Chain A
């Protein structure tokens, strides 16, 4: 039968008076992978949470498999075969993989939970998915790639026929992403329909059958992917023509004198081995590498989170004894971490408080915080980073995923560091904000700061870097001048074959 798996029509939703969805239509065919795209705060997650029963729509109708339905709770959605892979995960870190998958539906014998049975069924589920995951592993000990597999298995265990994936790859490495795509194709072949939310254009063109664009809470277009160009999608998302978003702007950097930052023979935590490089004022250094190549660990060691086992870090030519992040901050180093939600934000605090947290000491006058000045500075950041929020007094929790990330970036910029290390600075950020952030990086470098950008997106590295260091297995494999690399494929190849 070819009736629609999901049909949402005229969906509207407001949060305390602000309308975030305006009569949006959305349809999903059986066995298709349907991309849902749009800028940060466009309403993608909200629309999907309505389908999932986390929120209820103010207006509009939903039909599943041709039947009109009312979805009032995630439980209702589950009963209709709708499973969501959340942008923020829905797993319990203190339970095992199998316990998570069967949470609230544990197989029982004689009235008591039978963990062996759920472990057995979990093993079978993963076998069907062609994946290897230990059902008895504690979820909190696993990497995000495994979390995601567990989430998917959890949805499948509930006989989900419709899977919603909200930015599933934003925390995945390139390899994990590719295996997720392979898995999606397998699921599709089994007739499962997938709604796929992502900010990464290549992924959308690689995996999806149709694309629906939302902008500012309104439906803009729905087209087969094969009939679209990347430019067209981007134009629909931002509502105007964006040109040369990822074009490289060649910059002149004097690599003479004393480097701003010099790392000599650095080893840390077994994952970083004998790494040396230097960073000059005004320079943007890209760091590329596969998952597990030690990129994040390198950043953590320089910033004083992980202990340095051997080697040294010199700042402006002087040995900097960095033992804790405070030492690094005092030396003018800032790290914008990869896992921003958990490491970078106090979710219940306002946008302003989050932005100003690292600069509080400088806002003090006679021991009191100068609130008016703080508000002005916060507003400045909200404008320059185009953070979409009702006001600077809104709790960060209520911002969309991408906008939360901009707050973290703003927060660290507020410390006015000389050396800025950014780990995946644009993960989960929409295309408009991405160019925005790349622009910010360039401006900061032009102002004489040294910037290290860690990224899994070759396009992004190529857009801003002056030099690129390729890490492999914790060591520097190659160091390339940006000018030596002509195409994205070359960089990709260099990383893969490192």
Chain B
């Protein structure tokens, strides 16, 4: 009898947490669809616009899901995106698009790996390491460009990374679908994903079971760096330039998206699809508020409030 009661409360809790983002998403979507019927909220164009605006946050949120599920945090993603947009743009100008893509990814790999090494070898808290790295990466981007934007003139690059579309489908949408699919399968269905969850759920226990928890900590931060670099390259393609400001403040939206999606800030559980929906939810709110004609100060307040309420609901046991 007792165990059945247990089972029920367990299911309730999981359902509640997992579905919150879905319910919230649908509810807000319907709300805007009805109230903003005449402002064109539901037009294909506007919807694609939302997708385009959220795709970059969603991409980073996929990698951040792993980071948070493993019990770490990465505050440097926005700054890495900015730095990678700049290194990509500079390299394209000299050596062409292929080298540019390689340079961008390498930037993320390097910064992410340094984060990972500091956290897992020197045993520093990821919060502080990545907070510091945020400044280092952003500052480097400013320094190597003299704070000036670096235009990207390569059409092919811009088309693939963000500006173009295949038929009616924007390339950004394709990126996010691919990244989400890979992320979801890796977290749910591979030993790596399982070990990420184990590490975040109870680091000591995971270690005693034979999980190399340091390796996991290193990998989640490194991958987060690489994916943040990809996000920076998407910014660069969409805005046809590299600039140190791209991605500024994104770390907060990304973390909010992940937590909205039902991933526990204490680690041990996480949902990639939830995080992406969380990002979309934030995108829908931003878009709706703009269409409602609110001033940007009001938008920021409402957005903050919605995140607090949603996180409060999602983390209630």
Contact = CB atoms under 8 A, between A and B. Distances in A.
B209 A74 contact: yes
Interface string A101-120: 00110101001110000000
A92 B10 contact: no
Interface stretch (B43-51, B188-196, B252-260): B188-196
Interface residues of A, number: 30
Interface string A263-275: 0000000000000
A90 to B, nearest CB: 4
A88 B10 CA distance: 24
B297 interface: no
A264 to B, nearest CB: 27
Interface string A42-85: 00000000000010000000000000000001110010000010
Contacts of B195: 103-104
B122 interface: no
B293 interface: no
A142 interface: yes
A94 interface: yes
Contact of B197 (A73, A75, A94, A134): A94
A91 interface: yes
Count class of interface residues, chain B: 20 to 34
Contacts of A148: none
A93 interface: yes
Given A104-B209, A112-B190, A138 B10 contact: yes
B189 to A, nearest CB: 4
Interface string B167-193: 000000000000000000100111101
B95 interface: no
A113 B188 CA distance: 8
Interface string B41-71: 0000000000000000000000000000000
Contact of B191 (A84, A104, A141): A104
B201 A92 contact: yes
B99 interface: no
Contact of B205 (A90, A106, A112, A141): A90
Interface string A328-340: 0000000000000
A216 to B, nearest CB: 27
Interface in B203-249: 204-211
B205 A89 contact: yes
Nearest to B191: A106
B264 interface: yes
B220 to A, nearest CB: 16
B198 interface: yes
25 contacts: A73-B210, A74-B208, A89-B205, A90-B209, A91-B202, A91-B205, A92-B197, A92-B198, A92-B205, A92-B268, A93-B268, A94-B202, A95-B201, A103-B195, A103-B198, A103-B206, A103-B209, A103-B210, A104-B195, A104-B211, A108-B191, A111-B190, A113-B191, A113-B193, A137-B6
Interface of B: 2-3, 6-7, 9-10, 14, 185, 188-191, 193-195, 197-198, 200-202, 204-211, 264, 267-269
Interface of A: 54, 73-75, 78, 84, 86, 88-95, 99, 103-104, 106, 108, 111-113, 134, 137-138, 141-142, 154, 292
